[in-house]
Structures are given as C-alpha cells and as structure tokens.
Amino acid sequence: MIYFDNSATTKMSTEALTTYEEVVKNIWGNPSSLHQLGDRAHQLLEAARKQCANLLGVKPCEIFFTSGGTESDNWAIKGTALAKREFGRHIITSSVEHAAVGNAVQSLKELGYRVTVLPVNKRGQVNPADLKQALDSDTILVSIMGVNNEIGAIQPIPEIGDILENYPSVHFHVDNVQALGKGIWDQVYSPRVDLMSFSAHKFHAPRGIGILYKKAGRTLKPLHDGGGQEKGLRSGTENLPAIAAMAKAMRLYLDNEPAKAARQRAIKERIINYLQDKPGITIFSPAEQDFAPHILCFSLAGIRGETLVHTLEAQDIYVSTTSACSSRSGEEAGTLHAMHIDDGLATSAIRLSFDEHNTLAEADEFIRVFDQIYRHFAKVNHLG
C-alpha cells in the first residue's frame, strides 16, 4: 500500500499509541480533582503543556488544549469577535481558507460583522498590499492560514505580521494545521502572530485533540461554559490520554525536521519531474520554496478527480481530491475556484500529500502506475 493522503490524516505512531494506552490504564484521575490521583493527572497535563510549548517556542501559559483544528479555528475567530465586539466588527480573511475558518467567519457575517475576503493570485497567495488597504479602525481580526491544505501554497505570514505591527489591537490568527514539521516555520510564523491552530492527527497523534496557541495578554472569550478548565477559557474535562500522546507525537515529529522535510520535497520533485511535460497535466503545486514540501496538487484534463482517486485506489495507492473535508460531499476545490481555475480543471484535481514515512521508491511506483493510467486516458481524450 502507498498512502499519499497524509494531509487528510496520518497514521497514529506506535509511540503515541503506547503513551495513550499507558495513560488510560495508569493515570485515569480527573486533573481537576484534589486527591492524589487527580494531582498525578494534573502533573502529567501540565508536563504535556510544557513540552508542546517548548517545541513551539512559546510559553506554557499560551497553550490551550482543544478537540482539534476546527475547534481551534472557531475559538480563535468567534472568541475574538465576542471579546472585541465593543471595539469593532470588521474581520479580514482570505478566499482560500479551510472551511473551519471560512464558515466560522460567514456565521459572524450573518450576525452583523463586516467581513473582507482577500483575493489570491494564480499561485493561491494573498497580496499583503491588499491586506494593508483593507485594514481600518473597525478591524478586530485578521485570519490567514499558513499553508493551504489543497495546493500547499505558503501565505506571506511574516510580511502580514510586519503590516500588523502598526495595528497592535488587531488579533492575528494563523491556521497552521498543515504547517507543522515541514521545515518552513520561519515562513508561517511571526512574533506578531497572536493565535495559531494545530490538529494532532496531522502529526501521528490521536484524532479529537488539538491546540490553540494564544499569546499571553490577548483577550479571548470562551465558547464553552462549564467547570472552568484550561484557565477558565475552555471548559470540559481534559482528554489526558490524547493530550499526552499528542505531546509525545509532536516531539518525535519535530525531531530531525530538516531531513524529514527534505525527503518529502524530494518525493514531490520526482513526481513533478515526471508530470511537468505531460500534455493535459496541470500542476498547481510547483516545487518552489513558497510552496510546502509535502503537498502536490495536479489535474488530468477530462478526468474527474474522484475517478482518478478510485482508479489509483484499485492499485492500492491512496490519494485525495483536494481537501478531505469537502471531497466526500462533492464540493469543488475552493482554492482552485478562488484562483479562477477553469471549472473543468478544478474538478479534475487530485492531491498527493506526503509525510516522513514515504519514500522515493513509493514515488517511483506511483509514477509507474500513474503512467499506465495516463496513457489510457490520454488516448481516450486525444491528449498529445
């Protein structure tokens, strides 16, 4: 089996699973309980928080555990809107955000907030000058993703951060779900960033757990009312086994990061070298430094993406049609639509996404199998 769908989800690592099982069996007290079992759980909770903070280069008090990327995005956006509604009601985002951001912003628009959606160029990237022009005295939040989940375009986060230095009261949120561990941190993080979202199942940890980074001093309203966990900002008994497993998985994932990222980029480049001269093939994720090393999106003219997905699946190769969150519902690639890509090409797109366990041998096998598929469909569609 060749699994090239790691941006949808990754396989849970053996080490993370072992940690999860050990915590379930041995540290099952409630971290909020005052007795010895609760104290032991609380100590593990805070040790995991400290480890995640150290790995991200932030303070432990800035790490909040959530149920995943969707909750983190919603909390960053809606929590900001609630906290700052007396000071402004203008939100700026982009046309290529994940649905967790796009739909959260849309729900606020329906409640009377004013939303500016920045366009992107043909490479799927926003222009910082457009952002600068959109900012005004009513702006309370800018939410721009670090790495696009469909084509891997890296947004100009440091440049946006520089602009926002002149707007200190505006919250800057970055969805970095696809950005962790890819050797591009200096491109997707800036000290000006106030809020960041992470999802554990993207780096070999359990599903249903994630992180929201909130810079110290930034105000955010809770979305959950309850027992006051997570410093009173995110109520609900903490999922300690998943949190501990996430901390372990993050440490392993970030170990030897440059070499791992280089291997993923090498896989991407090898497949691109095969694809780039083929009639009917359009590549949306070039092998350039402003694109993430692990995502490769391309289309074969005249063939719907889901057809290619199932044809490859029959050969035990697993890929996706753009975002897994929208592919099953049959929605067209939102990023490609925002890039003004022809609808026919957009619905023909597939996404390959790699991680550190993939190999060049798998890339060669993909090329061998895909070449047979390509020759068949090229003949049917009279390509070349």
Which sequence positions are flagged as catalytic? 325
Q: What is the CA radius of gyration of the chain?
A: 21
| Residues 7/294, Cβ–Cβ less than 8 Å | yes
Which residues fall within 8 angstroms of residue 354, CB to CB, at 6 or more apart? 4, 6, 264, 267, 268, 293, 294, 295, 296
Cα 333 from Cα 92, distance rounded (Å) = 21
**Which tokens belong to 31?**
């971290």
| Residues 61/232, Cβ–Cβ less than 8 Å | no
Query: Cα 346 from chain centroid?
Result: 21
Q: Beta strand pairing status for 2-3 and 317-318?
A: parallel
Cα 158 from Cα 243, distance rounded (Å) = 29
**Which tokens belong to 236?**
């609900």
Query: Cα 162 from chain centroid?
Result: 22
Among residues 42, 55, 45, 62, the alpha carbon closest in space to that of 245 is found at: 45
